[in-house]
Amino acid sequence: MRTAFLEELVRLAGEDERVWLICGDIGYSVLEPFANRFPARYLNAGVAEQNMTGVAAGMALMGKIVFTYSIANFPTLRCLEQIRNDVCYHNLNVKIVAIGGGLAYGSHGYTHHAVEDLAIMSALPNMTVAAPADPVEARAITRMIAALSGPAYLRLGKAGQAALHSSDPEVTYGKAILVRQGRGLTLISVGDMLANTLAAADKLNDAGYSVRVLSMPFVAPLDEDAIRDAMADTSVVLTIEEHGPGGLGSTVGECIARSGQAVTFVPLRLGRSPIKVAGTQEQLRAAHGLSPEAIARSAEHAFQHHMSTSRQVQQ
């Protein structure tokens, strides 16, 4: 996914001399195509993310489109005050890119677990928050946020994600992507949880369920129309995210509450407590109910509970 982002950024920089890239002393073997082609528009700020963000804000005030780039929490939480006060308050063209969203750096421990970022970035004024599911979505959203006036946060996986869409989907700002149609229950995923979500949908389909799958690449703004459509057509809605409370599940839950419609809603996400063990991304996902098997079990249980409750109400 990060390769797709970088390739698209190089194309954008070739078209628009306002595009700059600033990194926090990471990205070796990844960022060289940009640095070699546009050395005058590439800056390594060092391990100084607060300065990196301040410099980006100053450059944006001079009319530049600046992408900042670092691992997991470092371009977000370490410099949150600068993002809030310098970038968001002034509605500047700074695009924050975090590599290794969720538990991608699981073996590095909690310092590298980006599991609060969607909630925090979504709470900031003027901030667009995007988490593409695969390289196809990443390319489209990179170009989209570059053209967007104002700040944006782009949460990417680490590397090696496969393309999950059979054909290039229509990626529209602030809109969900309908990956599969279904009439029984809806699975809504954000970021690269789409792969596990699709695998879970396969298991549910084999068990006789009709499953709608939505990829929700934008957390802010949220596609509330797609959520309301899912509620109208299916009786059970689950969100799947590699994130703690405050992310996709919370925002979708608010949308459902405002609608006043009766629907069974289950947010599948990480707990609030820090994960205190190291492991691969898939090991940690499985341990916290985010494997394909666990997602399918949760969806089946939610559907059966909904049907049981509906029968009781009718009686």
Task: Identify whether the C-beta of residue 152 lies closer than 8 Å to the C-beta of residue 130.
Answer: yes
**CATH code for position 271:** 3.40.50.920
* Interval 239-273: pLDDT, tens: 999 999 999 999 999 999 999 888 999 999 999 99
Same domain, 17 and 148: yes
Does the structure show a pLDDT above 60 at 60? Answer: yes
| pLDDT (0 to 100) of residue 315 | 54
In a domain, 48, yes or no: yes
Same domain, 239 and 132: no
Task: Identify whether the C-beta of residue 292 lies closer than 8 Å to the C-beta of residue 200.
Answer: yes
What are the angstrom distances between the C-alpha of 140 and each of 5, 112, 133, 272, 295? 9, 26, 11, 32, 28
Range 99-110 average pLDDT: 94
Same domain, 21 and 75: yes
In a domain, 297, yes or no: yes
In a domain, 164, yes or no: no
Same domain, 8 and 139: yes
- In SS3 terms, 10-62 reads as HHHHHHCCCEEEEECCCCCCCCHHHHHHCHHHEEECCCCHHHHHHHHHHHHHC
| pLDDT (0 to 100) of residue 292 | 98
In a domain, 171, yes or no: no
Instruction: Report how far residue 168's alpha carbon sits from residue 94's, in angstroms, rounded to the nearest whole number.
Output: 27
Domain region containing 65 = 2-156
| pLDDT (0 to 100) of residue 262 | 85
Instruction: Decide the pairing of beta strands 65-71 and 211-215.
Output: unpaired
Q: How far is CA 149 from the centre of its chain?
A: 20
Same domain, 218 and 144: no
| pLDDT (0 to 100) of residue 312 | 60
pLDDT confidence bin for 26, thresholds 50/70/90: very high
Closest to 101 in 3D by CA, of 47, 151, 49, 158: 158
Does the structure show a pLDDT above 90 at 307? Answer: no
Same domain, 118 and 239: no
| pLDDT (0 to 100) of residue 308 | 82
In a domain, 105, yes or no: yes
Same domain, 126 and 34: yes
Q: How many domains does the chain have?
A: 2
- Average pLDDT of the chain is 95
| pLDDT (0 to 100) of residue 47 | 95
Owner of token pair 């994960």: 275
Same domain, 147 and 185: no
* Interval 28-41: pLDDT, tens: 989 999 999 999 99
pLDDT confidence bin for 309, thresholds 50/70/90: confident
pLDDT confidence bin for 207, thresholds 50/70/90: very high
Alpha helices in the chain (DSSP H): 2-15, 32-37, 49-61, 80-82, 117-122, 135-147, 194-206, 224-233, 248-259, 281-287, 292-314
Of 156, 186, 216, at which residue does a domain stop?
A: 156
Does the structure show a pLDDT above 70 at 314? Answer: no
Same domain, 202 and 60: no
What's the predicted TM-score (pTM) here? 0.96
pLDDT confidence bin for 311, thresholds 50/70/90: low
Of 156, 189, 206, at which residue does a domain stop?
A: 156
* Interval 124-169: pLDDT, tens: 999 999 999 999 999 999 999 999 999 999 999 986 778 888 777 8
**CATH code for position 25:** 3.40.50.970
In a domain, 67, yes or no: yes
Owner of token pair 């596609």: 223
Instruction: Decide the pairing of beta strands 218-220 and 128-130.
Output: antiparallel
